[in-house]
Amino acid sequence: MPSLPSPPVLAPLQQGNSPLSSPQPLGGVQDYPLEFSATGSEYFRIWIVNLLLIVVTLGIYLPWAKVRKLKYFYTNTRIDGDALDFHAEPRKMLRGTAIVGVFLLMYSFAADVAPLAGIVALVALLAVWPPLFRAAMKFRLANTSWRGMRFRFVDTGLREPYLCLVPALAMLLLPGALLGFGGDDEGSQNAAVADAVTSLIGVIVLLWLVLLPYFFWRIKRYQHNHYAWGPLQTEYRSGVLDTYKVVGVTVLVALGIMVVFAVAAAALLPTLFIGGLKGLGMGVLLGLIPLLVAFVITINIAPKAFFMARMQNLLWSRTGNRYFRFKSGLRARSFMALQFKNYALILITLGLYWPFAVVATHRMQIEAMTLKSRVDLQSLTDAARKRETDAAGDMAADLFGLDIGM
């Protein structure tokens, strides 16, 4: 299930060599559990109207649908009794969606025309994607508010987005661009060249899989280090090994599921031949096929849910500073159980339970979060109001209207 971004934790912004004015810390730590008041029935009405209008307008209504959804979920997420809000204009988001769509279509068509054209299109996509991603981050934060003040994304330039995005995208997209050099319909490619290209693609894919946790960590560190609200900015205090550990345990969960089902299949096989060959077909139908279906469902739900729970806890429990931070205590077992329930009910209702499942997922994720603050939130609000005019600069991101989520 998709997840809403949790509100950011903040560290002091700097101006020159001295920190900007910040509220004075309290003597102790105050806990503020996050609250989520959305209901499945309310969101169902929003979801069904969005779905119908997207179909009728051939996708043009998609930005309006996204704004309606985000605004509903944000305004039902509260910290200390006050809700978030989302202020984006759908028309600007439609323009941003069109920009991204044009770039992706150009890359797709170029790869089909000629291998060299695909490489050129890949280079062009790598050149423009980091600025677009940065603009999307600025757009989302500049259009998100709490207590009437907008958040901001305060990175200092394009160097970091290029460093964290280009290697990952290049390794992901390069194999597809290289496929055209492996041979053609006229058989003009040398067999040795084709074998070399195939081997190179295999090495790139393997290396990409090994480095995937690193790429994920770099992107999340870039995001979590640059959220700002009022006089404070985020810090992400987690090393890359922490992400590798979460990925490693997730892989072990997936392997454990495979072992359990393999043992179950091995135990079931002898019973299939008790009735001889005549009963084999019925035995497979009643035994192995349901087991295979159960395996496919489990392997597609459990590892993903486990990863989402553990990664939420890592990301938000390691984001903070001496003023305040969030603590995430999302239980992986409970979250996995919820996903099994959600998908079962989605299947039974032929998809109509989807909005209820989305709400249930967001509720468990958001209500697992607690804001632990050494700062009086009212004094923080007062300090933020003095900095509210600075958010105007980030509203320049409205030029593109890009929003790709958090």
Higher pLDDT, residue 388 or 128: 128
Residue 233's pLDDT band (cuts 50, 70, 90): confident
> What Cα–Cα distance (Å) separates residue 36 from each residue in 4, 149, 325, 379, 380?
11, 20, 19, 24, 22
206 pLDDT higher than 80? yes
pLDDT at residue number 14: 44
Higher pLDDT, residue 184 or 384: 384
Q: How many CA atoms lie within 13 A of 41 on its CB side?
A: 0
SS3 assignment, position 245: helix
pLDDT at residue number 25: 59
Give the whole-angstrom CA distance, residue 75 versus residue 146: 10
**CB distance 404 to 223 below 8 Å:** no
pLDDT at residue number 20: 44
> What pTM did the predictor assign?
0.83
Residue 354's pLDDT band (cuts 50, 70, 90): very high
**CB distance 97 to 405 below 8 Å:** no
Lowest mean pLDDT across 125-134, 170-179, 341-350, 357-366: 170-179
pLDDT at residue number 395: 42
Higher pLDDT, residue 229 or 392: 229
149-150 and 144-146 beta bridge pairing:
antiparallel
Lowest mean pLDDT across 52-61, 216-225, 313-322: 313-322
Query: What number is the average pLDDT over the span 289-305?
Result: 92
Beta-bridged to residue 232, according to DSSP, are 12, 229
369-375 and 25-33 beta bridge pairing:
antiparallel
Higher pLDDT, residue 275 or 296: 296
pLDDT at residue number 13: 45
Express each pLDDT in 91-124 by its tens digit. Answer: 888 887 787 777 777 777 776 676 677 788 888 8
Average model confidence (pLDDT) across the chain: 82
Higher pLDDT, residue 405 or 305: 305
400 pLDDT higher than 60? no
pLDDT at residue number 44: 97
Express each pLDDT in 298-335 by its tens digit. Answer: 999 999 999 999 999 999 999 887 787 889 999 999 99
Give the whole-angstrom CA distance, residue 374 versus residue 31: 9
Express each pLDDT in 241-263 by its tens digit. Answer: 999 999 999 999 999 999 999 99
The alpha carbons of the chain give a radius of gyration, in whole angstroms, of 25
Lowest mean pLDDT across 140-144, 232-236, 316-320, 398-402: 398-402
pLDDT at residue number 287: 66
Give the whole-angstrom CA distance, residue 125 versus residue 1: 28
Residue 214's pLDDT band (cuts 50, 70, 90): very high
| 3-state SS record for 156-220 | CCCHHHHHHHHHHHHHHHHHHHHHHHHCCCCCCCCHHHHHHHHHHHHHHHHHHHHHHHHHHHHHH
Express each pLDDT in 12-21 by its tens digit. Answer: 444 433 344 5
pLDDT at residue number 172: 87
pLDDT at residue number 353: 97
**CB distance 34 to 77 below 8 Å:** yes
pLDDT at residue number 5: 42
Give the whole-angstrom CA distance, residue 342 versus residue 345: 5
390 pLDDT higher than 70? no
Higher pLDDT, residue 297 or 119: 297
181 pLDDT higher than 80? no
Give the whole-angstrom CA distance, residue 224 versus residue 245: 19
Higher pLDDT, residue 264 or 67: 67
Express each pLDDT in 149-178 by its tens digit. Answer: 888 898 888 999 999 999 999 998 888 777
**Segments making up each domain of the chain, as ranges:** 40-399
**Tokens read off for 69:** 């959804």
Lowest mean pLDDT across 182-186, 345-349, 360-364: 182-186
392 pLDDT higher than 90? no
